Amino acid sequence: MSKRVLQGVVVSDACDKTVIVRVERRVMHPVYKKFVTSSKKYAAHDEHSSYRAGDIVQIEESRPISKRKCWVVIAGPADAVPGRRSARPTPSSRRERPYDPDADKPRCRG
């Protein structure tokens, strides 16, 4: 029996060696005969942590790797290289300002 291969978009790469891939399907509604887009998220194994959110990847069914993970990433963008995740800048929630001891005192102009 051949293994299923699906194509989707990486929506999360926060876990170590794991990416969450959203796969969208278009199915026709049985009553209204209109195409409805439905999506499902799969946890896929990414050995080198080289894929980031927004990448379009192909995943293949495999043996169970963990409780939720039974898919493996087999293809993705050409610029995905091992260790690319570590080069991503960390988001800063607020700008750091240097300490100013006179910040609460009124300023005089003159």
Phi then psi for residue 85, to 5 deg, are: -60, -35
Predicted confidence at residue 85, as pLDDT, reads: 55
Summarize the confidence of residues 48-57 as an average pLDDT: 91
Instruction: Look up residue 91 and give its amino acid.
Output: P
* DSSP line for 30-80: TTT--EEEEEEEEEEE-TT----TT-EEEEEE-S--SSSEEEEEEE--TT-
Output the six-digit token pair for 72: 């493996």
Q: What is the mean pLDDT of the segment spanning 7-23? A: 94
Q: State the pLDDT at residue 73.
A: 95
